[in-house]
């Protein structure tokens, strides 16, 4: 048997899949058969009512339940109705990415696990089923044994629950702990001696499932799911509290929420990206197409000088389109590429940028003022060159006449250095400052000619290098654009 099969002793399982999407149900069935080497009998049903009928008629080893059935509509009570018919059958919920809260409620109602649709493969499905069956077996065995041991004596009862993977406490009517098993010791991070006779410290009610936030002595936080039931201890009424450590589940939920938010942000960015490509490439491509069509139709009659002018316009628009495409590729690569920050030679990097912008500097008669020294900083030289190129070219474009561009840096006390470019332009209003550095947005034509990509690239680069970006500006007083980087030790 392969490592993905369902067990070392049972080679055949009977699975009931309750899913109103017939195609998806069939896919899950085939995944089950593949994962258990074909030793699997799969029954498909599409409503909660049909599932209850199937469970009442014959036993199943596992039930895979879609939480959004037509006759349940995400009602957690569906789990209780199924358990009432087949209390020994483990239930695994299937839900979509945006219903993790529903899945948690389902776990609290008695389901053994949940799977996110489209986020698992054969091995993950088989593993979930194996663990669910084992947990169900252990839970049922524990509940049966608890009833038997309580009736037959305290000593046997303590021996049995000491082996439970779930924590078990006995709390008397005064709220004091009377019994602790090893799993509860591990959960609370305290030995039995430090727990016995002490207040339990949490409010719970018999028959009601709750979650406890447990702060351990080492400062770590654990999350436990509690299931209190009324019992007797030493002949007196007490609460038997089982505690399941669901810390890993909670971390997975938090990771899923972060993933969902990140995915949403990326989808929004992708929409804006597509808009930018369509909008910003449209102008140069339109120019190229227009002049090319004129040349195609009239090249035999056009004067040589006019034809040369058309070709210059086509070449200029081609270079502009090429620049936009390179900027888009850079913006995309910054998100995907992994780099190791290294000490930067800012003299060399800024010198390279000056060479790149030499023609612009000469044409505008820009005055560039450089510092005599740079603080040591960590980063990725090719990316930082792009940051400087964006800042300095913007300072020249939107500076005075002629532009005066001052470049500098300051060592800060928080382990970082701030690098800045100051221009002598018209400055920015508060509303304009608020729109800077946003992916794929532009200010008005006075302040943001071109493609609107530059500052979004700057922000993404600096974010990746654990820095931050910003601007200080007032109308009529010029602007200072800055970014920070960690100091090189």
Longest dimension (CA), the chain: 112
Q: Helix axis angle, 454-464 relative to 381-397, nearest 10°?
A: 150
Q: Helix axis angle, 100-109 relative to 247-298, nearest 10°?
A: 160
Q: What is the DSSP letter of 488?
A: P
pLDDT (tens digit per residue) in 370-410? 999 999 999 999 899 989 988 999 999 999 899 999 999 99
Buried b (16+ CB within 10 A) or exposed e, 336-372: eeeeebeebebeebbeebbeebeeebeebebebeebe
- Return the structure tokens found at 318: 């081609």
CA distance 326 to 332: 10
What's the pLDDT score for residue 446? 34
Rg (CA), the chain: 34
What's the pLDDT score for residue 232? 86
What's the pLDDT score for residue 151? 64
Give me the domains of the chain, ranges plus CATH numbers: 13-140 (3.40.50.2300), 164-245 (3.30.450.20), 247-337 (1.10.287.130), 339-489 (3.30.565.10)
End-to-end alpha carbon distance in the chain = 55
**CA proximity to 444, closest of 431, 461, 457, 455:** 431
For the chain, which residues score pLDDT lower than 70?
A: 1-11, 73-74, 97-98, 149-158, 268-280, 327, 331, 335, 438-453
Q: Which stretch of DSSP H or E encloses residue 422?
A: strand 416-422
CA distance 269 to 277: 12
Q: Which stretch of DSSP H or E encloses residue 66?
A: strand 62-66
Question: What pTM value is reported for the model?
Answer: 0.44
Query: Beta-strand (E) ranges in 216-343?
Result: 221-233, 236-245, 342-343
Phi/psi for 134 (5° steps) reads -70, -45
Residues 373 and 334 sit within 8 Å (Cβ to Cβ): no
- Return the structure tokens found at 154: 């305290």
CA distance 189 to 279: 60
Q: Which residue shows structure tokens 């792009």?
A: 386
- H helix and E strand count, the chain: 15, 17
Residues 6+ apart with CB under 8 A from 16: 43, 45, 51, 54, 55, 60, 62, 63, 64, 89
Instruction: Quickly count: other Cβ atoms within 10 Å of residue 248's Cβ.
Output: 10
- For the sheet with 167-172, list strands across it: 177-180, 167-172, 236-245, 221-233, 210-215
What's the pLDDT score for residue 128? 87
Alpha-carbon dihedral 181, 187, 188, 189, rounded to 10 degrees: 100
């Amino acid at each position: 048997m392969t490592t993905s099969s369902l067990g070392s002793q049972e080679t055949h399982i009977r699975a009931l899949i309750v899913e109103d999407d017939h195609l998806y149900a069939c896919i899950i069935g085939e995944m089950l058969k593949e994962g258990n080497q074909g030793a699997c009998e799969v029954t498909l049903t599409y409503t909660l009512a049909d599932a209850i009928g199937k469970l009442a008629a014959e036993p199943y080893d596992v039930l895979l339940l879609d939480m959004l059935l037509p006759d349940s509509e995400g009602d957690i009570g569906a789990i209780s109705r199924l358990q009432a018919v087949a209390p020994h059958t483990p239930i695994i919920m299937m839900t979509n990415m945006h219903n993790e809260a529903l899945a948690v409620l389902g776990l609290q109602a008695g389901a053994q696990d949940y799977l996110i649709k489209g986020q698992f493969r054969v091995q993950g499905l088989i593993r979930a089923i194996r663990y669910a069956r084992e947990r169900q077996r252990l839970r049922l065995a524990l509940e049966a044994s608890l009833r038997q041991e309580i009736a037959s004596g305290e000593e046997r009862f303590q021996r049995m629950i000491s082996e439970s993977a779930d924590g078990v406490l006995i709390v008397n009517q005064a709220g004091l702990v009377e019994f602790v098993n090893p799993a509860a010791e591990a959960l609370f991070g305290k030995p039995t001696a430090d727990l016995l006779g002490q207040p339990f410290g949490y409010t719970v009610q018999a028959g009601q499932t709750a979650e406890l936030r447990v702060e351990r002595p080492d400062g770590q936080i654990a999350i436990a799911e509690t299931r209190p039931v009324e019992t007797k201890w030493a002949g007196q009424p007490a609460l038997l509290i089982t505690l399941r450590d669901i810390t890993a589940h909670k971390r997975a939920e938090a990771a899923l929420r972060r993933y969902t938010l990140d995915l949403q942000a990326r989808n929004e960015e992708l929409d804006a990206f597509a808009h930018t490509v369509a909008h910003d490439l449209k102008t140069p491509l339109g120019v190229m197409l227009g002049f090319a069509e004129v040349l195609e139709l009239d090249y035999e009659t056009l004067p040589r000088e006019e034809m040369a002018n058309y070709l210059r316009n086509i070449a200029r628009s081609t270079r502009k389109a090429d620049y936009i495409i390179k900027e888009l590729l850079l913006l995309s690569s910054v998100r995907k590429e992994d780099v190791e920050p290294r000490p930067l030679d800012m003299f060399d990097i800024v010198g390279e940028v000056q060479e790149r912008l030499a023609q612009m500097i000469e044409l505008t008669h820009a005055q560039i003022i450089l510092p005599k020294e740079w603080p040591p900083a960590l980063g990725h030289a090719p990316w930082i060159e792009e940051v400087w190129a964006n800042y300095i070219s913007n300072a020249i474009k939107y500076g005075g006449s002629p532009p005066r561009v001052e470049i500098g840096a300051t060592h800060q006390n928080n382990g970082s250095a701030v690098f800045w470019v100051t221009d002598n332009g018209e400055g920015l209003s508060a509303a304009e400052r608020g729109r800077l550095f946003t992916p794929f947005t532009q200010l008005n034509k006075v302040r943001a000619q071109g493609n609107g990509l530059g500052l979004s690239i700057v922000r993404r680069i600096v974010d990746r290098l654990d820095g931050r970006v910003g601007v200080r500006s007032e109308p009529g007083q010029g602007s200072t654009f800055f970014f920070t980087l960690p100091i090189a030790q």
